[in-house]
Amino acid sequence: MVTTAVYIADVVQYDISLFQKWAQGITNTALAELVHTDYEWPKHLAAEYVQGQLYSYEYLETFLESPSEFVAQSCLFPLDTTQKQDLIEIYYSFDSRLMRELLGKKPTSHSRKDIESLALRLKIPLASCRRQVENLKRITKRVEDVEGVTLVEEIQQKFVLPLPVASQYAHTIFINSNRLDTTKRKLAPYKFDDFDACAHVFIDFWTSSTSTLTLDDIDELMVQAVRSFKNQVVDNRVRLEELRVQLMNHLTTMANTVPGNPAALPDNPGPCSVSATPVSPGANKTSTSLPPGQSSSAKSSAVKPSLAVSSVFGSFARPASRNPDTVHRLPSQMNFFGVYNAIPPSTNPYKNLTHALEYNPAFFKQYIRTLLRIGTLLTNSTEFRSIFSVLVEKVLEPCVQLHLSQLDIECLFDTIVAVVEAYVIVPGDSTSFIEGWTRQQRLVGKFLQGVKLAALHLLQNYSRNTMFNLSLARSKNE
C-alpha cells in the first residue's frame, strides 16, 4: 500500500510597509510595537505576525541578492511583477548621507568597525548600514568587469532597477573606481546629490563614446585636442590676445542684442543656452524625487541616458551627451549669502561680463589657461582624483571673486565655448586641415561644456560651502 503525504499551504503574503521598515533596520520589538499600534492588535498577535513576516524576509533576502533570478522565479514567489519590483527597489534603496560617506573609496575597504562607526555617527541602524554597504559591494563586483554594454544598462539588467536608481549606483561606482576625492574641507558641505550630478556630467561629456568598456574611461582624443589647442593657441601670446579680442567682441555683440531681462535670452545664444521650458519625460529621462535623507539610489554606441538633477532649485534636465542640439537648463540666478549681492534679474549678463573683463583684462588669459590645464590632466589618475576641489578652487572661486552671478558664469562659458570652437589658426588653409581643426575644436568645446555644467552644479550650493567655512573660521578664532 502506497502512502502519500500532501501538504497544503497558503500563499505567502508580504507586508510591503513592514518590509520597508525592516530594510531600514528597525528592531523586531519596535516592529511588533508598530503593528500593535497601527492595527490595534493584541501584543502577542502582533509579535507572532511580525515573527512570521521576518522569517519570510530572511528567506526572501537570499533571492533579492540576485534580482533577475528573483523576478524570473514564479513557483516559490507567486507575486506579480509590480510587487517584486517594489521589493527590489526597497531592498536596494539607500540613505544619501551614508552613500556620501562611501564616495571615493573602494567598497571592499570598509571593515565591520568602519560600518559600526558610520552607523553611530549618522544615527542609522547598524543592520541598515550593513545592507546598504553590502548592496554597493555586490553591484560593483558584478558589473565592473563586463564589456560591451553601458554601466547603467548592466545594472538595470542584472538588478532590475529603474533608471534613476541604476544611474545613481553607476555614478557612485564611477567616483569610487577613479578614487575621486570628496574629503577635502571645501567639499565637506556638499551632499551626495551634488557629486552624483557632477559624475553624470563627467560620464556624459568627458568619456569616450566609442569605448566598449562598461566602466567609462576619459576620452583620450578629447584630452589630446585640449592639449593641442593649449600648445598652439593659449601658450602663444599673439594668438591668445586674438582669442581675448574675439571674446570681448562676442560679448559686446551679445550685450547690444540680448534684452536686459534674462528670461528674454535667445533660444540659442551659444553652444549651450538657458531656457525655462520644461523637458518632457520622453525627450530626456528624469530621476524621481525622493523623501529627504533617502536616495534610491551609459553609454551605448550613440547616446547615453540623461537624468535630471535634484537640487535646492528643483529639477533641471541634462543634455543627451551626443546630441549637440540638446540644451541644459539651469537656474538663472544665484545669491551668495554674505559674499556679494547677486545682480538683479533685469540686468543684462553680457553687459556685466563686458564691464567685469574690461576692468580685469588679465582675467580671461589666466582663466582659459587654468581651464585647459585641467583638461590636459584628466587622463592622469592622480590629478583626476582632485577634480572636485579643483572645480571649486580654480573654476568657481575666481568668478566669485570677480562678483559674477550664476547667470554671468553661464554666459561666460557659453561665450568661451563659442569663441574657441570658431577660432581658426590659418583661415583659408587646406580643406583637410580645416576639417581636422574643426573636429578638434568640437572636442575642446565638449570639454569646456562639461566644466561649465559640473561647476554650475557645485555653484548651486557654493553659498552653503562659504557659510560653512566662515563658521569654521569663527570657531577656530574663538
Question: Does residue 133 belong to any structural domain of this protein?
Answer: yes
Domains contained in the chain, number: 2
pLDDT mean across residues, the chain: 78
Q: Give the mean model confidence (pLDDT) for residues 287-302.
A: 41
Distance (Å, whole) CA 140 – CA 77: 27
pLDDT at position 8 is 52
Count other Cβ atoms within 10 Å, centred on residue 255. 18
Q: At what angle do helices 163-177 and 126-143 cross, to 10 degrees?
A: 80
Q: Are residues 250 and 352 in the same domain?
A: yes
**Residues 264 and 399 grouped into a single domain:** yes
Q: Inform me whether the pLDDT recorded for 88 exceeds 70.
A: yes
Residue 284 corresponds to which cell in the numbers above?
Answer: 530626456
**Mean of the pLDDT values across residues 127-131?**
95
Per-residue pLDDT, averaged over 172-194, amounts to 93
What separation in angstroms does the CA of 298 have from each of 280, 388, 454? Answer: 20, 21, 18
Residue 198 resides in a domain: no
| Inside any domain, residue 318 | no
Domain finish residue from 165, 181, 198: 165
**Most confident residue range from 34-43, 258-267, 327-336:** 34-43
Task: State the pLDDT at residue 474.
Answer: 46
| CA-angle at 179, arms to 299 and 460, nearest 5° | 75
Same domain, 121 and 33: yes
Rounded to a whole number of angstroms, the distance between the first and last alpha carbons of the chain is 92
Tell which residue, 322, 320, 311, 352, has the closest CA to residue 462: 311
* Res. 292: pLDDT tops 90: no
Question: Which whole number is the average pLDDT over 384-407?
Answer: 92
Is the pLDDT score of 295 beyond 90? no
Domain that holds residue 426: 220-274+330-477
- For 139-187, give the DSSP string: HHHHHTT-BSS-HHHHHHHHH---HHHHHHHHHHHHHHHTT----SGGG
pLDDT score of 443 = 94
> Do 358 and 251 belong together in one domain?
yes
Confidence class for position 148, pLDDT limits 50, 70, 90? confident
Which pLDDT value is given to residue 87?
94
Is the same domain home to 123 and 258? no
- Give the domain-ending residue among 130, 145, 165: 165
Report d(CA 415, CA 440) in Å as an integer.
Answer: 18
Residue 251 and residue 146 share a domain:
no
Q: Can you tell me whether residue 317 is helix, strand or coil?
A: strand
Residue-level pLDDT at 433: 62
Looking at 133, 165, 197, which one is the last position of a domain? 165
Assigned domain for 143 exists: yes
What is the reported pLDDT for 375?
96
Within a domain: 173: no
Average pLDDT (216-245) is 92
pLDDT, mean of residues 321-331: 38
Query: Residue 214 — very low, low, confident or very high, per pLDDT cuts 50/70/90?
Result: low
| Residue 420 · residue 441 · CB < 8 Å | yes
Kindly report which listed range (190-194, 195-199, 290-294, 435-439) carries the lowest average pLDDT score: 290-294
- Which of 207-221, 336-350, 408-422 shows the highest mean pLDDT? 408-422
Chain centroid, CA 212 distance in Å: 22
Q: Looking at 15-24, 76-85, 339-348, 379-388, which range is the least confident one?
A: 339-348
Inside any domain, residue 309: no
Shared domain check, 252 and 116: no
Query: DSSP string covering 201-253, please?
Result: HHHHHHB-SS--BSS--B-HHHHHHHHHHIIIIITSHHHHHHHHHHHHHHHHH
- Does residue 213 form part of some domain? no
Residues 6 or more apart whose CB falls under 8 angstroms from that of 247 comprise 357, 364, 415, 416, 419
Q: Are residues 226 and 160 in the same domain?
A: no
Q: What are phi and psi of 457, to 5 degrees?
A: -65, -40
